[in-house]
Structure 1
Amino acid sequence: MIRMVLLLLLLIAALAAAALSHGDHPFAWSELASVLTGRPTATRQAELVVMDLRLPRLLLAFLVGAALAVAGAGAQAILRNPLAEPGLLGINAGAGLAAMVVMVGLPSAPISLLPVAGFLGASAMAAAIYLLAWRGGTTPLRLILIGIGLGSVAMAGTALVSTLGDIRDVQRALIWLAGSVHHANWMGVQLLALWLAPPMALVMLATRELDLIGLGDLPARGLGQRVDLIRGMMVLLCTAMAGAAVSAAGLIGFVGLIAPHAARRLVGPSHARLIPITALLGGALVMAADFTGRSIAAPLQLPAGLFTALIGAPFFAYLLWGRRHGFS
C-alpha cells in the first residue's frame, strides 16, 4: 500500500513537472525550480505563468479528478454495480442542468454562483432519485433505473435551455459543459478544496461500512448495519463531491468508472486501501487529460472531458464485454 502510494505520488509529481514547464511558454527545469522555491533568479514572466496560470489549473484538475473518482467508488459500493458512477445516477446531469440555467438564464450572475448552482442541481437530482426509489427501503436496481430516467430528463432540459438561450451564452455554457479547467484560479481551487475536505474525510471514515454493504443488503443487515441509512449517507456524500466537481470543471466523464477499477487491480477490494488509491488515480487521470488537451494541438485548448471520454468509452465497452455472461 505505502509503496503504491509513493509510486503514484511520483507519477503525479512527474505529470506536474511536465504540465508546469511545457506550454506556449516553455521553461527550463532550473527556471521552474526557481519559481517554485521563490528564488530571486526567477523572471516575472515565469512567476506569472507558473504560479497564476498553470499551477491553479493543475491543482484544480487533481481535485476534480479525485472527487469524481471517490464518488465513483462510493457509487459502485452502494449499488454493487461495477459499471456505476455519479453519471449513471443522473447526479452529474442534474448539476449540469443547474449550471446551464445559471449561465444561459442569468448571464450577468457572478461565476462564484456556479458551484452553488451545481451542488443544488446535484442535490435536487439525488433527492428526487432517492424519494422515487423508496419503497419501505431502497434497492440498488431501483436507484439505477430511476437515476437513468431522471438523468435523461435533465439532459433533455439542458438541450431545451440551450435551444432557447442567447447563442453567445449557450456557446460559453457548452464549452464549459465539455469539461475543462482552463478557467482555473486560486479562489476556485481553495473553494473546491474546502468543499471536498468534509465528504472525503467522511468517506474514509466509512470504509468499513462500504465493505459491509458490498456484501449485499441481507448479509449487511445480519452484521448489524443500517443499510438504508448508509446508502442514503453515501448518496449524499457522492452528490456533494460530484456536484462540486461538475460545477468547477463541467462534465468530465468516466473518471468515476476508470479510477476505482484500476485501483482494485492495484490494491484489492478493501475500501480502506481502495479510496486513497482511487483518489490519486482520478487526480492523475484528469491532470494527464488536461495536459494532453492543451499540448496536443497548441495553442488550441481541447477540453479534458474529451480525452477522458476517449479513454472511458472503450474501457466501458471492455467492462461490458468482460461481464456479458453475468448480464444475460
Structure 2
Amino acid sequence: MIRLTLALGAILSLLAVASLGMGDMPLPLDRVLSAVFFPGADPDAALIVTGFRLPRLLAACLAGAALALAGAITQAVMRNALAEPGLLGINAGAALSVSLLIVLWAPGVSALLPIAGFGGALAMAGAIWALAWRGGAAPMRLVLIGIGMAAMVSAATTTVITFGGLTQVQRMMIWLAGSLNGLDWPRLKLLALWLSPAFLACLVAPRALDLIRLEDGLARGLGQAIEQARFLLILLCALLAGATVSITGPIGFVGLIAPHLACRLVGPSHRRLLPAAALFGAVLVAAADLLGRIVFAPAEIPVGLVTAMVGGPFFFWLQRRLRHDPH
C-alpha cells in the first residue's frame, strides 16, 4: 500500500506540473513554481496558474476521489462489480433539478446551481430507496428501480431542455458533458465544504462495507444491522456523487474504473481499497482533464467525454472478464 501510494502520488505530481504549465499560454517549470510559491515575483504567471489552472486541478482531484469512493460504496452495497454511482440515479436526479433551474428560472442564478444539483441527487436516492422498500431494500430491487427511475428522469430532463432558449440549451449541454472549464476558487471551496463530511464518514465505513458485501444472513450473524447500514451507505454515496455532480456535471465511469484498479492492487478489504480508489480517481480525472485540454487545443473536450471514451472499453473488458471469472 505504501509503494502504491508513493507511485500514485508521483504520477499525480507529474500531472499537476503538466496541468499548471500547459494550456493556451504554456509556462515553463520555473515560472509555474514561481507562480505557486512566489506569486509576487511573476504576477502574470501567478494569475494564470493560481487564478485559473490551480483551482481546476484541485477540483479534478477532489471530484475524482469522491466519484471513486462513491463507486466503491455502490459496488459493495449492490454486490455488483459493474455498478457505479449513476446506477442509483444520482446523476439523473441532479441533471433534472439543474435543468429546471436553468430553463425555468430567471437568469443570474448560477450560485443556486450546486444546491439544486445536490438536492436533486439526494431526492432521487431517497425516492429509489422508498420505492425499493418491501420490509427491506434488497440490492436487486435497488438496481432495477434505479435503472428505471434514471431512464424516466433522463427523459424528463430532455423534455425540460426542449423548452429552453439557445443559450440555456448550450449551457445545459456543457454541464451534462461533465466539464471543469471555468471552475474557480468559490466553486472549489463549495465542493470541498460539501465533500469534507463525506470524506470523514468514509474513514469509519470500511467495516460496514466489508460486511454488507456478504449475504444478509451472514452479515446479521456478524452483528451488522443490514438495512440501517445499507441506507446510511447509500446516503453517503449520494453525498459524495451528488456534491461532485452538482459542481462538475456528470463525469462517468470513474466510479467503475478506480475501485477495480484499486482492488486488483490492494485486495478487497475496504480499509485499503477506499484510499487506493480515491487516489486512482484523482489521477484519472486529472489525466482526463489534461488530455481534454491539450489533444485538440485550442478546442477543449469536456472531461466527462474523455472518461466516457476510456470507460466504455473498460466496461466491456470487465464484463467479459467477469463472465469468464465471476469471482
1:109-188 equivalences in 2 (<5 Å): 109-188=108-187
Is the 1:103–1:109 Cα contact (8 Å) retained in structure 2?
no
| Structure 1 Cα separation of the partners of residues 216 and 251 of structure 2 | 31
SS state of the match for residue 170, structure 1? helix
* Counterpart residue type for residue 4 of structure 1: L
Alpha-carbon distance, 1:40 to partner: 4.4
Structure 2 equivalent of residue 46 of structure 1 = 45
Within 5 A, what are the aligned runs for 1:70-81?
Answer: 70-81=69-80
Which residue identity is paired with 1:9?
G
Amino acid at match of 1:35: A
Runs of 4+ in 1 over 3 A off after TM superposition: none
Aligned residue for 1:78, secondary structure, equals helix
Q: Would the alpha carbon gap of residues 39 and 301 (structure 1) be closer, same or farther in structure 2, given more than 3 Å must change?
A: closer
Q: Secondary structure at the match of 1:205?
A: coil
Are the equivalent residues in 1 in contact too, given 2:102–2:172 (CA < 8 A)? yes
SS in 2 for 1:321: helix
1:323 match: secondary structure:
helix
**Unaligned residue ranges in structure 2 (runs of 5+):** none
Q: Which residue of 1 aligns with 2:231?
A: 232
Match of 1:29 in 2: 29
TM-score by length of 1: 0.97
Q: Distance in 1 between matches of 2:317 and 2:12?
A: 26
Identical positions, percent: 52
Task: Give the distance between the partners of 1:9 and 1:255, measured in 2 at CA.
Answer: 18
CA drift of 1:278 comes to 0.7
Contact kept, 8 Å, 1:90 with 1:147, in 2: the verdict is yes
Aligned-residue CA RMSD in angstroms?
1.2
Which residue of structure 2 aligns with residue 102 of structure 1?
101
Cα distance in 1 for partners of 2:288, 2:215 equals 35
- Which amino acid counterpart does residue 275 of structure 1 have in structure 2? L
Corresponding residue of 1:305: 304
Aligned twin of 2:213: 214
Task: State whether residues 288 and 306 of structure 2, in contact with CA within 8 Å, keep that contact through their aligned partners in structure 1.
Answer: yes
Per-residue CA deviation, residues 65-103 of structure 1 (Å, 9 max, x unaligned), is 111110000000111100111111111111111111112
Could you state the TM-score of these two structures normalised by the residue count of structure 2?
A: 0.97
How far the C-alpha of 1:30 sits from its partner, in A, is: 1.0
Is 1:59 the equivalent of 2:54?
Answer: no
* Residue type of the alignment partner of 2:47: L
Q: In 2 relative to 1, CA 117–39 (structure 1 residues): closer, same or farther, beyond 3 Å? A: closer
Equivalent-residue separation in structure 2 for 1:193 and 1:180 (angstroms): 17
Could you tell me which amino acid in structure 2 is paired with residue 138 of structure 1? A
Partner of 1:9: 9
- Letter of the 1:119 counterpart: F
Give CA-to-partner distance per residue, 1:104-152, whole Å, 9 cap, x none.
2225142221111111111111111000100001110000000000000
The one-letter code matched in structure 1 to 2:29 is W
Find the residue that maps to 1:219 and give its secondary structure. helix
Confirm or deny: 8 A CA contact 2:175 2:249 kept in the other structure.
Answer: yes
Q: 1:54 to 1:14 in 2, by over 3 A?
A: same
- Partners in 2 of 1:229 and 1:244 — Cα distance? 22
The structure-2 alpha-carbon separation of the partners of 1:6 and 1:148, relative to structure 1 and needing over 3 Å to count, comes to same
2:39–2:46 CA contact under 8 A, matched in 1: no
Aligned length: 326
State how far apart, in whole Å, the 2-side matches of 1:302 and 1:137 are: 43
Counterpart contact for 1:107–1:169, Cα < 8 Å: no
Is the 2:35–2:43 Cα contact (8 Å) retained in structure 1?
A: no
Residues in 2 aligned to 1:306 and 1:39: alpha-carbon distance in whole angstroms: 34
CA shift for structure 1 position 24: 1.0
- Any idea what the Cα deviations from partners look like across 1:29-77, whole Å, max 9, x if unmatched? 1111111111643x22101100000001101111111111100000001
Determine the structure 2 residue equivalent to 1:291.
290
Partner of 2:248: 249
CA-CA distance at 1:323 after TM superposition = 2.1
Q: Is the 1:264–1:274 contact (alpha carbons within 8 Å) kept by the matching residues of 2? A: yes
Residues 326, 27 of structure 1: CA spacing in aligned structure 2 closer, same or farther, 3 A cutoff? closer
Amino acid in the other structure paired with 2:30? S
**CA distance, structure 2, for counterparts of residue 36 and residue 196 of structure 1:** 25
Distance 1:45 1:198, change over 3 A: same
Return the alpha-carbon distance in structure 2 between the equivalents of residues 3 and 325 of structure 1.
31
- Are the structure 2 counterparts of residues 193 and 39 from structure 1 closer, same or farther at C-alpha, using a change threshold of 3 Å? closer
Q: What per-residue deviation string (whole Å, max 9, x for no partner) do you get for residues 231-279 of structure 1? A: 0001101001111111111111000000000000111111011111111
